[in-house]
Structure 1
Amino acid sequence: MKKLMVHIDERHDPGILLEKTAYLARQFNSKVELFSCCYNRSIAQGLMFDREQQGHAEHAYMRQQEAQLEKLASPLLNAGIEISWDLCWDRHTAEAVVRKVLRYQPDLLLQAVAPHHTGLGRFLFAPVDWQVARKSPAPVLFVKEQPWGDLLRMAACIDPLHETDQSGALDRKLLDMATELAQQGFAELDIVHCFNTLPHEAIFDEHMVLDYRNLQDNVQLHHRQALIKLLAPYQRQVDDPEVHLLHGETDQMLASFAAEQHSDILIMGAVARSVLDRVLLGSTMERVVDRVNCDVLLIKHPDFQCPVSES
């Protein structure tokens, strides 16, 4: 991780975000870039200014924000971390952040995560953090208020039977990154696969009802065999103590697992979906982020196409 980018959003206290940034920068000897998207609706509407005065007001506001970034960067700079900062004026914060990602090409984007809408509102009025996570080609670390220990507990959440990733490219990318992080010596790694079967009450065929236990066993065996195949190149066995095969609803099981294992970071693959899919089916990733107290690292499929252009 040679370059880290941190989105500084004035709506969030940046304290814990910068603490974790400094931790990673020290571990990897990374260069850090702070980025803020400035926009003030009162100035932008220009109701109190002529065009020239409005321009002066925008520049004054940006200078004020730049001074704040310099102040935030000072402790990291004093700690010997190479750090710079940048900002822009744009009403579309998420797209501005992604354009900065495209220019800066960070290995990781750190993003504070906010409480989200419930119900239909979460899909129609997606907050900035969701929009950034969906559009950023760089891995995104959703940072929460839970502090890290000196030795991180990470959990790579894989799905070897995911219907949109039959080649396994996303899981391999996820495991490669998780293994690289763990090999640095400051983290322990769990590997988790969660699966579910049809509930008994959803089965109406009498033959399937009579053979329900056998059906469940076959499903578990299928997932176990897929997990064995995926882990083979990583010299890990499905029965290793750090490998966990969980049965149940993914968001519920991962939240319970993270709490029981005192996980600091869950590492998940982010699968692109249409708005309609998210409304009808929901998003496992988004439900997990909302449920857990720990941070969540989101990794995109190698074939991901960024919907935002650099210009």
Structure 2
Amino acid sequence: MDKILVNLDLKHDPTSLLQKAAVMANQYGAALELFCCCYNRSITHGYMFDKEQELKAEHAYIRQVEEKLEKLSLPLIEQGLEVGFDVAWNRHRGEGVVRQVLRHQPDLLMHGIQPHTRLGHYLFASVDWQIARKSPVPVLFVKDRPWNEITRITACIDPLHEGDEHAKLDREIMAQSYKLAQEGMGELRVLHCYNTLPHEAIFDEHLITDYEALQDKVETLHLRRCNLLLEEYGLSTDSYQVDMLKGESDLIISNYAKHNEIDIITMGAVARSVFDRLLVGSTIEHVVDHVDCDVLLVKPDGFICPVEE
């Protein structure tokens, strides 16, 4: 990992995000680029009939933001890190961040998400969804909770996902998680959640009489697919690092992260329909909303970014 782009929202305290960015940069010897996509509606509307003055006000506002980023970069530079900063004016902040990714070509985008008003939970805002859907590089959604001394990383795989052709997404999930664990001196775990067919959902009398055999067949298929993926990393479903749990994935992942004090959960996004919000499934939204750890979102190899630079 050579370059990390850190997206900052200066309306919120960036301390936790910058601390984690510094840890990542130190571990990988990576350069940091602090970025802020800003926009002030008052400037656009206030100088509606004087374009020249509007541009002057816009540039002055950008300079103020640059000064704030420069101030935030100084402690990082004092740690011996290579740090740059950049500001862009764009009313569509999510798209502006993705355009910066295309320009800067980082290996990772770090993006802080804020607690929702509901009981302190987190919830994807429109900007978060834009970034999650469109970023061509992995996105680490960062929360305020500090990491353990040895970072605990969990790769959430699903080799039987109907939208994941040839398990491309799972391979990317494993590759990114393995990279974090190996290079960052972290601890890697692998989690696969799956469901078997409930007895009450079977209406064929022949299947009802052989229900246990059907369940065994399903579990065997999950084991076989997981082992095909895991053997590339010297792991198997018998490894102590691997857990296969039966149940609804969003609830299982949330409980698993809390019980095992996980720092980073790695998940994937697959396009499921033409509707924007469905690119990232409800499972990811539920997990982000209910866990207090960070979530690394990756795309399958060959993902085409819908935004042009």
- Look up the match of 1:299: 298
- The answer to whether the 8 A contact 1:101-1:136 is kept is yes
1:140–1:280 CA distance, 2 compared to 1 (3 A)? closer
Aligned-partner SS, 1:238 = coil
- Look up the match of 1:112: 112
For 1:34 and 1:177, the matched residues in 2 are separated by 22
- The answer to whether the 8 A contact 1:251-1:291 is kept is no
Question: Superposition RMSD on alpha carbons, in Å?
Answer: 2.3
Q: Could you tell me how far 1:220 is from its partner in structure 2?
A: 1.3
1:198 aligns with 2:197: yes
TM-score (norm 1): 0.91
- Look up the match of 2:289: 290
Paired letter, 2:197: L
1:19 aligns with 2:28: no
Paired letter, 2:46: G
- Look up the match of 2:75: 75
Paired letter, 1:31: A
- Look up the match of 2:267: 268
1:44–1:156 CA distance, 2 compared to 1 (3 A)? same
- The answer to whether the 8 A contact 1:156-1:174 is kept is yes
- The answer to whether the 8 A contact 2:271-2:280 is kept is no
Q: Deviations over 1:81-109 (max 9, x none)?
A: 00000001110111111111011110000
- Look up the match of 1:242: 241
Q: Deviations over 1:28-55 (max 9, x none)?
A: 1110001111100111112587322222
Aligned-partner SS, 1:149 = coil
Q: Could you tell me how far 1:199 is from its partner in structure 2?
A: 2.9
For 1:273 and 1:288, the matched residues in 2 are separated by 18
1:36 aligns with 2:36: yes
- Look up the match of 1:45: 45
Q: Could you tell me how far 1:144 is from its partner in structure 2?
A: 0.8
- Look up the match of 1:66: 66
Paired letter, 1:173: E
For 2:127 and 2:149, the matched residues in 1 are separated by 30
Q: Could you tell me how far 1:278 is from its partner in structure 2?
A: 5.1
Q: Could you tell me how far 1:286 is from its partner in structure 2?
A: 2.0
1:6 aligns with 2:1: no
Gaps of 5+ in 1: none
Q: Could you tell me how far 1:12 is from its partner in structure 2?
A: 2.7
Aligned-partner SS, 1:229 = helix
- The answer to whether the 8 A contact 2:133-2:279 is kept is no
Q: Deviations over 1:178-217 (max 9, x none)?
A: 2222222520000111111233333333333343333222
- The answer to whether the 8 A contact 1:114-1:129 is kept is no
Q: Could you tell me how far 1:148 is from its partner in structure 2?
A: 0.6
For 1:305 and 1:258, the matched residues in 2 are separated by 31
TM-score (norm 2): 0.92
How many percent identity over aligned positions?
A: 54
Aligned-partner SS, 2:161 = coil
